[in-house]
Structure formats: C-alpha cells, structure tokens
Chain A
C-alpha cells in the first residue's frame, strides 16, 4: 500500500516539476523570441564610453565598430583621444584589466582649420570628414564648422595642398576651469616652510 502511495507521490512530484520546467522554459523561449533585440546592449554601453571623435585611430571605421570589436574581445587600449580615463572606464564596465594606452595620448583637444586662401575646392576633405563638419562645394572654398569638428585628423591626409592645420581648441569663457593646487594635507607638527616656496603677490 505504502509502496504504491510512494510511487504515486513521487511520480506526481516529478510530473509537476517537469511540467513547471517545460512551462517556464517555453515561456522564456517565447519571451526571448518576442522581445529579441537586434542590437547588443553591451555594445551600446561600450560605445557610450568612447569619445565619439570617429577618428579611426583604433583601426576601425568609427567608434561604434570599435565598440563592437571590444565586445568581440579586442584590446581596450586603442583609443588615443579617450586616453587613460576611457581605458579605465571600459575596464570597469567589462571587468577586464586596464592596459596602458597603445600610442601617444592626445595632450589637448584639437580642431581642424582650413587656410582658406590656399584651399582649391577639391571636396576631398568633405568626403573624409566622419561627422560632416566641413562645408563647401567643388571649386569653391571649404571651411570647418568649429563646433561640429571632433578633431579626428582624418581630413589632413586627403588634402592635396596641405592647407588644413590642427589647432588647439579654445574653450569658451564659461567653460573655464579653475586651477587649484591642494596642500598635501600635513599634520601641524610636520609643517615647515617649503624650500624655495614662492610668495605670490595678490595685488
């Protein structure tokens, strides 16, 4: 009697659990098919951390392709415009070890400038610009829209007359940053006049 009872209860438990498993499995399958995303959300997140200069210094045609490559396992250190900060942010996001930057870090923000007197109007730089920041037409002078330029250098090489310069970007007055030197945080007994310290006259 107890044998049959055990068998029934065991079988019913197995049946219920199997049923639940199949039910939820089907539900999950359905949901993943129904709400499938074409794009990879991780790629979006990586792309958001890249500086979007679209300069191609990483060897990919733009920031998004590089984001996709990183997602596939490419190195994190191929973005000179982003510098160390970007590498660290990416390493944080992906849980990888930060690597030193491959290449020279960019010291300051740059902007392309066309020496308009020398421009021959060949439109080659316009075709090269990844963000459509150069305006002009064939045989007419071109010029760079300063606010749109990302300073990616891509217009320099195609120019047949070398009339494009990369100039440091001048920050507007309202983006001025104060330069503040913090004291090292010594305790009082450690304090002594620093050797060769400069006294700055205020007035």
Chain B
C-alpha cells in the first residue's frame, strides 16, 4: 500500500461522520449570554479593554492582544458587558445583534501590510485545533520562502464534519481566502488535500476550482486514513516533503491552513467581519438533531446541546474535539471557543469507557501504527519511570498526540496521556531552568554592581588620602606593593567579556528580533559593571604607583 508519497502507520477507526453530515449548515440561535475566555489561542492571553456596564456591538474589540504571540478578542453578541475577570469576559445580549464591521478591503489591490493588519485586528486564529494566531503565521514570509499553500481539508478524525460542511457551502469563498494567503506569502501553488470520504465537498471544490484565480488550485483526493489530517502527514502525502523534527512546514517552503480559517480570513478582509462565530459539529447518539451549526463564540455548550435535543439520561460524556484527540468535558457549563470544532454527546454504548489497563506486553502494535515512526512502547516505559532525558532522546516532542497507539493497544494503556503528561512536565522544567538561569544572571549583576561601587568608593578614599598627605612618606607607598600587571589583565578580560556580551546580543537580536533580550542585556550590563570596577581599580593603582614612583626616585638620588 505504502508508496513514496505516504507516511508510515495510521489506522482506520470507524468514521461515524454520517450522523452529522446529512443536515445542512445552519445558524445556531443567538445566545442570551456569552462567556469569552481571554485565552482562546496559543501564546499570551489577551488583556481586557472593556469594563462592566460598557455597551458593545458584535465585532467590538473587548480584549487586546498582549505580547508577541497573542490575538484580539471581539464581542460575539451585542449587549452589555456583565463581568470582566482575569480569565474571561461575560456579555449579556440585548437581542439586537447590531454589528460593528470594519471597512471592506479589496485584497487584490491592497498592500500586504493592510492585509496583515486586518488579520491582526480580526482576531483570527487557526481553527483546526492549535489556535495559532493567523497574523503571525502569515508573517512567516519575513524569514522563509513559501512555494506552496496547502489547504488541509483531510478532516481525518471520526465524527467531525465541520470542514466538510464548510466546503460544501462555501467552497469558492474558502478558495478566495486561500488566494489571499497565497498572495501574502508569495506561494505559487495551492494544493487542497481532502480524504475520499467527502464526495459532496470534493464535487463542490471541483466546481469552484475552475473559477478560482489568479493562482490555479490543485485538488488532491487521498484515501481515508487516520491521521492524514496531521500537518506533517498531509504534507508528506501531498508533496512528499518531510518537515524536519522540531521544525515548521515553512522550513520546507509550505504553509498549511484549515478551510475554516481561510473562510474566516475572507470574511475579515472582504466583509470586515472579525472572528465572532465558527462552525461546530454537534453529534453523538445522545442528541436528536445532529449537524453543523454556525455558533457564536462564548455560547454555553450546555445550552447549545440542549437546543439540538440533548437527552440527559442517555448521555455518558461530552467530548470536545474528536474522539481520538479531543478531551472529555468535566462540566457542560463551559463556552464554545475559537478552538471548539466538534462536540460529541456520546452514550455509554457509543464510546464506552476504556477497560482498565493491563501491563505492556511489548507486542509492537503501537510502533507499527505510529505515523511519526516513534517507539511508543519505549516512551511508555520511560514515561512511567519519569526518565525525562531518555524520553527526549526518543523524540517525545515529535509525538503529534494522534492517539493511534492508544487506539490499537491490546492492553488498553492510555499511552498518549502519558506522553502529554511528560511533555507538560518537561516544558515546566524548561521554564524553571530558564528562570533559575535568569535569577543567576541577576545575582551576578548585583555582585558586579556592588563590586564596582566598592571599587569606586575605595578610589575616592585613596584620592582624598593622597590629597591630604601632600608629602607622602615613602614607607607607606612602598609597603602597598601594587599588582599593576594583574589588574591590567583583569581589565583586559573584563573588556573582552563586554565585547563578547555585545556580540552575542547583536547576533541574537539579528537572528530573531522578536525574542526577548532581557537576559542577554542583563549579562551585558554585568560585564559592563565588571569593566567599570576593573577600570577604577586600575586607575587607582596607577595613581598609587605614580605617587610612589617620585618618592622612590627621590630616595635613590
């Protein structure tokens, strides 16, 4: 089966997409109240810029991006801000649904900067699941050359049909969004990767491709296999390019976007409509009217599911995301966010709880299905032993957490849970180590500052002393044997370390202008303090020697 254009492993879980892809895409009723978490994207949470009691319209900015990787947040209904906390903003609806749109932009004529700014102010993030701010992803051209834009319409996970329905209804709009991104990143090719289990969407795309311009779009239909929707896996299957470990698709000249994101981009540019709603798949045996809905961000999941006929008695669990990579919700009292692509209200028969795990029998099933060719059983071993160094050596961070290994494990070991836990533990350790290193540099800076102050104080004292004793007694001067040579060496070393720190700072600043440079600046300041201390010591010693030299010459004569 496998050819050069294929990734290793993969599985064929039951698709169960029929349940939600029959109904057409419709708007969910307007919620009476929305709860908007400040962090619905990767990076820093946004900072609120409204106060309780403020009146907002749909599309008003309610929280500004904070720091480099972050995204704006907009009101998804018109009404009054009820509560602003450190984690979320709650808005009560006035039922009017009044919009606050931005002016439309003609993307074919607009300057790239205007488009970048529009993406930024529209709060668009990757709607496929990772939630990476799109305006930053679009700026990838500043450091990479992009030749191909891949539209990731594989949607390989069972149950989810949000992209499928988006494409059926908005195929030409999605392609126009893709043309905008292709223009921004300078891509010469647009390739759509779609699995063959979505015939209607493929047909809609075929129709739309003919009118899409200026760049011709290539449609590649691939056989259905999980996880071909993984960014790296799809790029391998479509273009036969390997994204390096720890790298980005941009490293091989590819940019990957989800159809939903591209549609949101078009809405932002053409209609001036910020990201305030998204398509959510509502499915599972415990609801009576499954299907896809346009849902305003911040809508309560409980209300949303009850609107489509949630049967509380049959419900066993609600999973946010797909059954493979999603997470069961511990409470339904939580809002739809920019990252909620699917809600599965499952009965106990449909998605039974996993049997109690047994010990690993080292059958190697997990290894044969791993799409990244890792050794899940070895990772499992080291994860349970908390051996983080070994896990990193076995490329834990290349794991895409697709869940194929857990799916096939005959011992029902929740392998991916182990890996996620280990990843977050290692990440925390890295943060701690960086923090300790920073504290060390601050401590060194303080030591250097104190030493410099001490040296300067000493120099002043000496200067005063030598002023007082106009006629220095030779005995005092000669007893203070000055180690001028040692001080010179120390001075030169301090000078060299200042130069080195300056060079490092300049190099890092040039390589990655967005990186925080506090720590390196601190190291430079430390080196400078050291240099000042050495200078004043040297000057003092020279003065002493100069003072003692004439007295010695007097003596000898």
Q: Is A bound to B?
A: yes
Residue contact A130 to B431, C-beta cutoff 8 Å: no
Number of A-B contacts (CB under 8 A): 74
Q: Using Cβ atoms and an 8 Å threshold, which residues of chain B touch A74?
A: none
Partner of B431 from A38, A54, A175, A187 at Cβ < 8 Å: A175
- Cβ of B318 < 8 Å from any Cβ of A? yes
Residue contact A54 to B443, C-beta cutoff 8 Å: yes
Q: Using Cβ atoms and an 8 Å threshold, which residues of chain B touch A148?
A: 438-439, 442
Contact (A132, B445) CB under 8 Å given A191-B356, A202-B328:
yes
Contact stretch, chosen from B92-100, B418-426, B456-464: B418-426
Residue contact A183 to B357, C-beta cutoff 8 Å: yes
Residue contact B439 to A183, C-beta cutoff 8 Å: no
Bin chain B's interface residue count.
35 or more
Within 8 A of B (CB), among A164-179: 173-178
Q: Using Cβ atoms and an 8 Å threshold, which residues of chain B touch A47?
A: 440
Within 8 A of B (CB), among A123-149: 130-133, 148
- Cβ of B437 < 8 Å from any Cβ of A? yes
Residue contact A173 to B315, C-beta cutoff 8 Å: no
Q: Using Cβ atoms and an 8 Å threshold, which residues of chain A touch B384?
A: 182
Q: How far is the CA of A133 from the CA of B87 in the complex (A)?
A: 27
Partner of B439 from A53, A187, A188, A203 at Cβ < 8 Å: A53
Q: How far is the CA of A173 from the CA of B443 in the complex (A)?
A: 28
Residue contact B446 to A178, C-beta cutoff 8 Å: no
Residue contact B315 to A203, C-beta cutoff 8 Å: yes
Contact (A187, B358) CB under 8 Å given A54-B439, A177-B425, A203-B315:
yes
- Cβ of A98 < 8 Å from any Cβ of B? no
Contact (A63, B330) CB under 8 Å given A173-B39, A175-B431, A191-B356:
no
A94 to chain B, nearest CB (A): 18
Partner of B359 from A52, A131, A185 at Cβ < 8 Å: A185
- Cβ of B417 < 8 Å from any Cβ of A? yes
Partner of A130 from B39, B329, B446 at Cβ < 8 Å: B446
Partner of B317 from A130, A186, A202 at Cβ < 8 Å: A202
Residue contact B431 to A180, C-beta cutoff 8 Å: no
Contact with A along B198-242 (1 / 0, CB 8 A): 000000000000000000000000000000000000000000000
A184 to chain B, nearest CB (A): 10
Residue contact B439 to A150, C-beta cutoff 8 Å: yes
Q: How far is the CA of A150 from the CA of B440 in the complex (A)?
A: 10
Q: How far is the CA of A75 from the CA of B330 in the complex (A)?
A: 48
A69 to chain B, nearest CB (A): 16
Q: How far is the CA of A178 from the CA of B417 in the complex (A)?
A: 10
| Interface positions of B (Cβ within 8 A of A) | 39, 45, 87, 315-318, 328-332, 356-359, 384, 417, 420-421, 424-425, 428, 431, 436-440, 442-447, 493
Give me the 6 closest cross-chain CB pairs, A-B, nearest first.
Answer: A52-B436, A131-B442, A52-B440, A52-B439, A54-B443, A185-B359
